[in-house]
Amino acid sequence: MTNDEKLRRAQEAERIINSTLYQEAWQQIRESLFEEWTHSEDAKHREAIFHDFKAMDRLQTYFGSVITSGTLTRMAADRQRKLTKT
């Protein structure tokens, strides 16, 4: 993947996770899962909900890694530009 692609993906990931719709959906789903989990009397059902929580965490981690990759790429490019100017 090129540096430009990494930067574009990082910007897109930031736009997505910072969007009102994404944040609203994230909060609604988490609250719904928590409510379902607290009212469940079935251990298998609670375990399934736990896995849903973990999947949501993995999604958040993925977006974070895309953003981090873009940030590191941008920092390296900035450092390289400074070195070539001197």
pLDDT for 68 equals 97
pLDDT computed for residue 67 by the predictor = 97
Amino acid at 26: W
Q: Cα–chain-centroid distance for residue 69?
A: 12
User: Is the predicted pLDDT of residue 21 greater than 70, yes or no?
Assistant: yes
Whole-model pTM: value is 0.84
Nearest to 48, CA basis, from 64, 32, 39, 37: 37
How would you classify residue 60: left for phi > 0, otherwise alpha for psi between -120 and 50, otherwise beta?
alpha
pLDDT of residue 74: 93
> With left for phi above 0 and alpha for psi between -120 and 50, is residue 43 left, alpha or beta?
alpha
Cα–Cα distance for residue pair 60/3, rounded to 1 Å = 22
Report pLDDT for 58: 97
What would the pLDDT profile of 43-73 be if each residue is shown by its tens digit?
999 999 999 999 999 999 999 999 999 999 9
What per-residue confidence (pLDDT) applies to 86?
Answer: 67
